[in-house]
Chain A
Amino acid sequence: MTFWRRATPPREATPHPVPVEQPVPHELGAAPHGQEEIGKDGEPRRTPLRPLAQILWARNEGQNPDGIAQANLTKRNAAIADRSRTRAQGRLFMLGIGFFCAFSMIGLRMGHLAASDPVAPRASFSGANIDSTRADIVDRHGRLLATNLPTHSLYAQPHHMIEPEKAAAALAEIFPDLNAAKLKEQFTGARKFVWIKRTLSPEQMQAVHDIGEPGLLFGPREMRLYPNGALAAHILGGTSFGAEGVHSAEVIGIAGIEKALDARLRDPAQAGDPLRLSLDLTVQSTFEQVLHGGMVLMNAKGAAGVLMDAHTGEIVAMASLPDFDPNDRPAALTSGDASDSPLFNRAVQGLYELGSTFKPFAAAQALELGLVNAQTPIDTTSPLVWGKFKIRDFRNYGPSLSLTDVIVKSSNTGTARLARDIGGVRQRAFLDALGLLDPVPIELVEAGSARPQFAERWSEIHTFTISYGHGISSSPLHLAAAYAPLVNGGHKVTPTLVQRSRAAPIPAGAQVLRPEVSRAVTDMMAQVVERGTARFAQVEGYPVAGKTGTAEKPLSRGGGYHEDKVIASFAAGFPADDVRYVLVVALDEPVETSGEEPRRTAGWTAVPVAAEIVRRTAPLMGLLPEIDVEAPPGLIRTSN
């Protein structure tokens, strides 16, 4: 039994004269009779003495103390109940307001919905929405290179089929590549969903409609269309379906720029904004046509070419042959050499020892370092012996040649001696500055893996061989990018396929050569065309400055070179007096057989092809031919 200090009468109805003892005045004041004294925690304050006194008093009076305690308890419960009731009143009121708000909100929302227009069902998925938007790709003049075409996929829901056997037979008739027996097995099995075709032509779709089978259904989707077929195939790459749903399918890039810029192309915010490439559709078409003709004429197994703006690095045309149709991408080779697949982009992925086309780099660096000038005689005694290696020239050019003639006649020994004077460390730094030692950062997914190959330990013999393009493998695109400073006044360019807006032009790259060095090297290369190895590159009206390169292909097992398999390349800038474009043409295993013995050198194979490219594309790019106004009028000697 708990004794409580303030035992007031048990009930109001029966007031009981409780003698109030006198201990603490403020307590008395706070609690007149009939009131409970309540502490801040809601419990009556207890003191041990008073209940005892009270009970003593009750005993004295002959009353039952239990009754007093009970009355006390009742009193307290009543007080608690009163207090909780007031609190509950407030809270119930809040609850009522809450319910009122909730019901009003539902009512308002109903009204809002009822007032809005019903929407026709659209194809979309909750949760897993497949976004099929993909921006178009156009060339520098806005001509279409890649777009989307609405089409349909075909799928079956066998449990809705009426005559599965008949449907299977009819489908096999429409699509010869489908197997009726297999379809029948799928349609009569337990599956409830079967994909049949990813894309349909309108005629095929109508034919499937005509079967009249309710279990055959069409799903709308978009497919990627390359209206120019194989044109610029390696640049565009191709697409495939990603996440596929009944209502739409994701179109994702799997190669080329479609993959490299997949995020940009699929960005819904830029879906209406086509991706504008630096390519020129007409030039690209001509370029491919000439390159293909040259490849056939020169009996080459492959060809690659890059035509690049020498100042901005914008690729105007780039091709690799043989090519493919990105609308119907062939499967990747599962065996053999990947570089034999038409999917292989020789211009970007093909790493070749490009031979003598590297010689102008050595000449340029020697000029830049002030070691020589264009007329300095260079020792060209052949052979040049370094350890067990002997470096020879194609022909013996005598004891010395001027620097210009070293390039014009393409002397290996002369270039190697230049490189020796430059030194391996400076040579490596220069090639690195030209971008020849790293993958080209172009917007093609394949470019990232095309890292030039060279011996990591750059010894003196490597310095020698690399100076004339052996012992280092790089792609034609590398070569084009590295040639730009040789001919454009000396600043580095970064090749790009995306046309920059005029508002944000490409910033000029770092100056790697002095302008006068660039001019001197261009002049040397102009003489290569004029009187050297590239005389076939003389194009009427368009002076060309370039350098040939004929490199024997290394044996696939290593340890030596093929005798009769070469990579013939020609790297050039044109027009020579004010270079606007850099052109690189490389032929894989060309043989020119019009003469008495097969000719494989670049001067006979790559150069004529490059000349034809210049002849055909320069006017397309708006270059005016140089007309010799000082030619004497009157009698003109003609010849064929």
Chain B
Amino acid sequence: MIKNSIYLAVIVTTFLASLTLAQEPVLFDGTNPIVLSFQAPSGQNGPPADDAIPQSVLITPTDLAKELQSAKQKPLILYVGPRTLYLQAHIPDAEYIGTGSADTAQEKLRDRVKSLPKNSAIVLYCGCCPWSHCPNVHPTYQLLLSLGYTNVKVMYVATDFGTDWVNKGFPVAKGK
């Protein structure tokens, strides 16, 4: 009887634990910025050659996801898209800045980075729209460049965040 009860307890605990763990998003613990080195996207899925953001600065979602899983120190990830999309799903530990095309968001971005060293590793991303239509990543990248930040990367989202990150099974967090 005692033996059976122990077996039963183990089975039930495992079962309930699996129910809980299956639903929990994977979270990263944010740490100090580091030096980034990623492969730029290329080929048919890449950005236009004359894009204002140079290809050397771009990160593919796959590369960023790998880096976040393996690196001990994570870059500072800043989300420069709309709040409603951020609340539904965002990269774990990504900080909400606001739609990068708006003056208020650019002001908030200035404030966020002003105390950081100029070589801080910073990743910007939006994913509100297909890359060529996104109004948010270009002005925020240009702003950081003009402020002298030298280690800024931009995640290249070809279609949108849902298609290129969430649907590929990369980790997400929800809410604020």
Do A and B come from the same complex?
Answer: no
A interface list, Cβ under 8 A from B:
none
B interface list, Cβ under 8 A from A:
none
